[in-house]
Amino acid sequence: MIRLDESHIWEKLSSPYGNSEVIPSLIHELSKTLNKRIADELIWEHIYHQGSVYENTLATIPHLLKIIEASDNIEFNFDVIASLGVVLIYLDNILELEQIFEEDNLDEKEKNRIQIAFMDSIEKFRSLVNRYSHNTEILDEETKRFYLIAFLVSIKRHKEAEIFKTFNINDEYIFVCLNCEEETFLWNEENVLNAYSRDPTTNKNQEKLRIDLNESNINLEWLEKPIDAMNINSLKPLIQYFKGNINCHSCNKKHNIFKGIMNSI
């Protein structure tokens, strides 16, 4: 792990603003205060900006997880773990780690130290997610869905986690036909997932498309279990629709709903 006092390394790390040298002081302050504002600044402005990750992302995450391990502030820990779940969606294999080091400012020894510490931190992340997943009763529905992202990342379901990031409000999902790529709009209307061929916001007078429930043989046990364990009531009613099938309104080919949502990502 890159130490906080190794400023000569931090200042070389790529970042959205070219100012990774400020990160050690922010990490130090965060470790003393557990201030959510500082955590948000670190994560959303410095190491994950507009959907991009950087060299400083890999160097910072081990320090953030170290802070969580030492903290007994459950609310703070939940917030940071959930936030890191979003960041880690896009860091799911070694090849991606190699591609992050594009600017060639670091020597091989420095790169290896960052990569090894980051890979070790992934195991720590999985352990922390599992530990706190038993205390989600203190969270509201929106935060539970946010935490589900971290859980799915922890079990290496990165693309599935991206579904719940993209459709995080849980009011609409997009199905993309696996045959012709035509979109179908899935609207969550009072815990019923209704399907429409056109966007209902601009096409209000249209017939609903038929979803055949429980027809497919897709296994979503890996999703149902955490939703039940965390008691995510806003997602429980949708599982039967995710398992269902629909005929594409364009090509008439039948596909599983969840696979079509996956195809939209």
Token output for 105 = 């400012």
Considering the domain architecture, whether residues 97 and 37 belong to the same structural domain is answered as yes
Domain membership flag for residue 129: yes
Note the pLDDT tens digit of each residue in 214-252.
Answer: 777 899 999 999 999 999 999 999 999 999 999 999 999
Predicted confidence at residue 94, as pLDDT, reads 66
Considering the domain architecture, whether residues 92 and 136 belong to the same structural domain is answered as yes
Considering the domain architecture, whether residues 138 and 176 belong to the same structural domain is answered as no
DSSP 197: S
Domain membership flag for residue 250: yes
Predicted confidence at residue 95, as pLDDT, reads 65
Considering the domain architecture, whether residues 29 and 127 belong to the same structural domain is answered as yes
Q: Say if residue 167's pLDDT is above 90.
A: yes
Considering the domain architecture, whether residues 180 and 155 belong to the same structural domain is answered as no
Note the pLDDT tens digit of each residue in 52-100.
Answer: 999 999 999 999 999 999 999 999 999 999 999 999 998 887 667 778 8
Token output for 172 = 């609409």
Domain membership flag for residue 166: no
Round to whole Å and give the CA distance between 32 and 30.
Answer: 5
Domain count, the chain: 2
Domain membership flag for residue 1: no
Note the pLDDT tens digit of each residue in 86-95.
Answer: 999 988 876 6
Concatenated DSSP letters of 128-167: HHHHHGGGGGGS-HHHHHHHHHHHHHHTT-HHHHHHHHHT
Range of the domain at 212: 172-263
Considering the domain architecture, whether residues 15 and 85 belong to the same structural domain is answered as yes
Task: Give the model's confidence band at 171: pLDDT under 50 very low, under 70 low, under 90 confident, else very high.
Answer: very high
Mean pLDDT for all residues in the chain: 94
- 247 SS3 class: strand
Considering the domain architecture, whether residues 246 and 155 belong to the same structural domain is answered as no
Q: Say if residue 125's pLDDT is above 90.
A: yes
Domain membership flag for residue 53: yes
% the chain with pLDDT above 70 = 99
Considering the domain architecture, whether residues 138 and 223 belong to the same structural domain is answered as no
pTM > 0.75: yes
